[in-house]
Amino acid sequence: MGVELSADLLGQWVGQYLWPLFRLGSFMMVIPFIGTQLVPARVRLGLALLITILVVPMIGPVPQVDALSADAVIITLQQILIGVGMGFALTALFQLFVVAGQMIAMQMGLGFASMVDPTNGVSVPVLSQLYSITITLLYLAMNGHLVAFEVFIESFYTLPIGLAGLGQMGAWDLAHRISWIFVSAMLLALPAVTAVLIVNISFGVMTRAAPQMNIFALGFPIGLIFGLFSIWVLHANFAPHFQLYTEQTFEFMRQLQGQP
């Protein structure tokens, strides 16, 4: 016996499966590691489909609206905005360390030593690439990707599928998150930047005392050595910084959903 396709049945299918897929798919296209160029788009789409099939039975009823109505388009856009917004919050965690690496590299004279970042396809300083690799390994070793999915799945309960999405406050919070990237990056890079600054000040005093000394021949390599030493010291204490910023990121993701 064939099943008759009616507008109501089509709308029910769209609401029950496509809207969660839009939210999950947009999230997975943006997040670090899985959302980068290292993972093919087909793999990301396959994972999004698989997770959607697992999640749909748990999220409860969705609004019954016509599949081709204006309300359906608004709900679809809201799901994409929620997925991209929460994915951006997670991406900000990784970009924080890239910005910190750029700050340190520029101060110690390594700003010109850049390489192509395979995850984003842009040139970044070598130090930023080192930090990016380190936090990717820490993120996977500490099961950060599993926690990210757990926090994201909670959004189906706290931000149920409907016409209401992140809202104006959520959009403003996402925009202000950019300032958090720079503030946290500056705090992370401050010890190394201060160490190199002290070396540069001491060379300035020495040049003033002995003008015949060639500052460019001596200052650059010694500044570079001190910068590398400070990076080595900072790297030993890398995990606590990463854990702190990761906790702040997951708290912010829950805040976006309207959780306390």
- pLDDT band, very low/low/confident/very high, at 2 (cuts 50, 70, 90): very low
Q: Which two tokens stand for residue 171?
A: 């959009």
pLDDT tens, position by position, 131-156: 888 888 888 888 888 888 888 888 88
The least confident of 95-104, 124-133, 158-167, 236-245 is: 158-167
228 pLDDT above the threshold of 60: yes
pTM of structure: 0.77
Contact 22, 79 (CB under 8 A): yes
Name the band, by pLDDT with cuts 50, 70 and 90, for residue 15.
low
Q: Which of 43-57, 158-172, 187-201 has the weakest average pLDDT?
A: 158-172
Tell me, what's the pLDDT at 1?
A: 41
Rounded Cα distance, 167 and 61, in Å: 22
The reported pLDDT for the residue numbered 112 is 64
Displacement of CA 70 from its chain's centroid (Å):
32
pLDDT at residue 187 is higher than 70 = yes
Specify the amino acid at residue 128: S
Lowest pLDDT segment from 48-57, 162-171, 186-195, 250-259: 162-171
Give the Cα separation of 207 and 219 in Å (integer): 10
The mean pLDDT value for 205-232 works out to: 76
In the predicted model, what is the mean pLDDT of the chain? 79
- 27 and 150 Cβ atoms separated by less than 8 Å: no
Radius of gyration, CA atoms only, the chain: 24
- Residue range 28-80, pLDDT digits in tens: 888 888 777 777 878 888 888 888 888 877 776 666 666 667 777 787 888 88
Q: What is the pLDDT of residues 104-119, one digit of tens each?
A: 888 777 666 666 666 6
Q: What is the per-residue pLDDT for 259?
A: 59
User: What pLDDT score was predicted for residue 144?
Assistant: 82
